[in-house]
Amino acid sequence: MREARARRAGECTSGDNPRPEFPAPIVILRFQFEPVDNTRLARVCGSLDAHLREIEAALGVKISRRDAEFRINGAKAAAERAQALLEGLYERARRPLSAETLQLALVEAKAPSDRPAPRPGDDGPLVLRTRRADLSARTPRQHQYLQQILSHDITFGLGPAGTGKTFLAVACAVDALERAGVQRIILTRPAVEAGERLGFLPGDLTQKVDPYLRPLYDALYDLLGFDRVTKAFEKGQLEVAPLAFMRGRTLNHAFVILDEAQNTTPEQMKMFLTRIGFGSRCVVTGDTSQIDLPRGVQSGLIDAEHVLARVKGIAMTRFTSADVVRHPLVARIVEAYEARAKREAREA
C-alpha cells in the first residue's frame, strides 16, 4: 500500500528507474532594436548575416530577422543569452565590430552567469592598470584566477591553450608595477623545444633564449607598448630569463611568472618556488596536456599540483575548454583531445 501511494505521488522507490530527463522547452523570442540604425544593424549581423550564423552555432539557437525585427528560436536560457548578446553588440556597434570583439562576446555569452562571490572590500569588477582599457575577465574561472593572484603569494594556473593563463598573469604583473606594488617583473620559462631539435642557436645569450621567451615579450608589448617595455628593460624593471638561471637567487619585491611550467622537472619546480623572497608574488602557468619533456621524465607541474594542493597560501585555478578565448575552433580542438584522453584512460 505504501509503495502504491509513493508511485501515485510520483516518488521514486528503490525498484524504480530514475525519471527520464526531458529536453528544455523551446521558446520563441521576438524583439526589435530601437532606435533603428541601419549602419549599426549591418555591423551586428555581419556580411550576409555571418555574425548571426556564428551566434547560432555557438549558442544552439535559430535566428531569423526582417530588417530590425529579430526572432530567436531555441531553449529558453540559450535564447535569452542570444538576445542579450545581440543587444550588447548593437550598443557596441557605433564603431565597427572586429572578429575578436565578436568572439570574446560569444565566450562571455556561453559562460555561466554566476561568478565567484566577491571578497570583502570589493566594490565592482577588477580593474587592472595597463594600456588595454578593455582588459577584464571573460569567464568566471578567469575572474577567480585574477582574484587568487591578487590575494595569494603563489598562484597556479593550469589548463589548455587559449584560456588567458599567461596573458592575465602578465597583466597583473604590469598592474602591480604601475601601482608600485613591486619593483620589477621577472618572466621565466624552461628552454625546452616542442618536439623538435633546433640544434645550437647563433648569437649571444639573449639571442639564444629569445625564441623560447617570445610569447612573454608579445604580452608585454600588448600591455605596456614597445617604448615602455624598452625603457623598463633599461631601468631593470623587467627581466626575461630562462629557468636555468634562477638557481641561487632570492627574488625580493618582484612579480615572478613561470610560464610553460609543464616542461619543468620536479627538481626545477622546487628550485623555482623556493626563490620567492619578501614582498614578492609568483604565478605558475602550464598545460599538462602539452608536455615536451623526454619520455619517462615526470613533469614538475603535475608533481606540484599534488604535493602543494593543501599548502596554505597557494591557490590553484584549473581552466577548461569553456574558458578558451581564441578562435572557436580552438575550444573544439581541445575538447576533442580531452575526449580521446578520457577514452584511453577508461580502456587502460
pLDDT digits (tens, 9 = 90+) for 66-94: 888 999 999 988 899 999 999 999 998 88
Question: Does one domain contain both 82 and 146?
Answer: no
Over pLDDT 90: what percentage of the chain?
41
Categorize the per-residue pLDDT at 247 as very low, low, confident or very high, splitting at 50, 70 and 90.
confident
Question: Does one domain contain both 321 and 193?
Answer: yes
> In whole angstroms, how far apart are CA 48 and each of 30, 41, 88, 303?
21, 12, 20, 51
Of the listed ranges 41-55, 230-244, 329-343, the one predicted with least confidence: 329-343
Per-residue model confidence (pLDDT) at position 198 = 44
Q: Is 134 part of a structural domain of the chain? A: no
Domain with 262 in it: 140-347
Question: Does one domain contain both 103 and 146?
Answer: no
| Most confidently modeled range among 120-129, 275-284, 334-343 | 275-284
Per-residue model confidence (pLDDT) at position 26 = 84
Count each helix (H run) and each strand (E run) in the chain, helices first: 12, 9
Q: Is 121 part of a structural domain of the chain? A: no
> Is residue 131 within 8 Å of 223, Cβ to Cβ?
yes
Question: Does one domain contain both 220 and 300?
Answer: yes
On the question of pLDDT at 95 being above 60, the answer is yes
Question: Does one domain contain both 59 and 189?
Answer: no
> Once rounded to an integer, what is the mean pLDDT over residues 219-232?
91
Of the listed ranges 21-25, 53-57, 288-292, the one predicted with least confidence: 21-25
On the question of pLDDT at 325 being above 50, the answer is yes
Question: Does one domain contain both 152 and 74?
Answer: no
Q: Is 305 part of a structural domain of the chain? A: yes
Q: Is 58 part of a structural domain of the chain? A: yes
Question: Does one domain contain both 200 and 73?
Answer: no
> Is residue 165 within 8 Å of 159, Cβ to Cβ?
yes
- Rounded to whole angstroms, how far apart are CA atoms 250 and 272? 10
Q: Is 21 part of a structural domain of the chain? A: no
Categorize the per-residue pLDDT at 348 as very low, low, confident or very high, splitting at 50, 70 and 90.
confident
> Is residue 155 within 8 Å of 149, Cβ to Cβ?
yes
> Which CATH number covers residue 76?
3.30.1370.10
Question: Does one domain contain both 105 and 150?
Answer: no
Per-residue model confidence (pLDDT) at position 131 = 77
pLDDT, tens only, 106-157: 877 877 654 444 443 444 557 787 877 667 788 889 989 999 999 999 999 9
Of the listed ranges 60-64, 81-85, 184-188, 333-337, the one predicted with least confidence: 333-337
Question: Does one domain contain both 154 and 263?
Answer: yes
- Rounded to whole angstroms, how far apart are CA atoms 313 and 222? 30
> In whole angstroms, how far apart are CA 306 and each of 156, 157, 257?
12, 14, 20
Total domains, the chain: 2
> Which CATH number covers residue 267?
3.40.50.300
The per-residue pLDDT of the chain, averaged, comes to 82
CA angle 166, 170, 174 (to 5 degrees): 170
Question: Does one domain contain both 256 and 308?
Answer: yes
Q: Is 126 part of a structural domain of the chain? A: no
Per-residue model confidence (pLDDT) at position 109 = 82
Question: Does one domain contain both 196 and 252?
Answer: yes
Domain boundary among 110, 129, 156: 110
> Once rounded to an integer, what is the mean pLDDT over residues 97-111?
81
| Cell reading at 341 | 584522453
Per-residue model confidence (pLDDT) at position 201 = 57
Categorize the per-residue pLDDT at 169 as very low, low, confident or very high, splitting at 50, 70 and 90.
very high
Q: Is 236 part of a structural domain of the chain? A: yes
Categorize the per-residue pLDDT at 9 as very low, low, confident or very high, splitting at 50, 70 and 90.
very low
Q: Is 179 part of a structural domain of the chain? A: yes
Question: Does one domain contain both 96 and 145?
Answer: no
Per-residue model confidence (pLDDT) at position 208 = 65
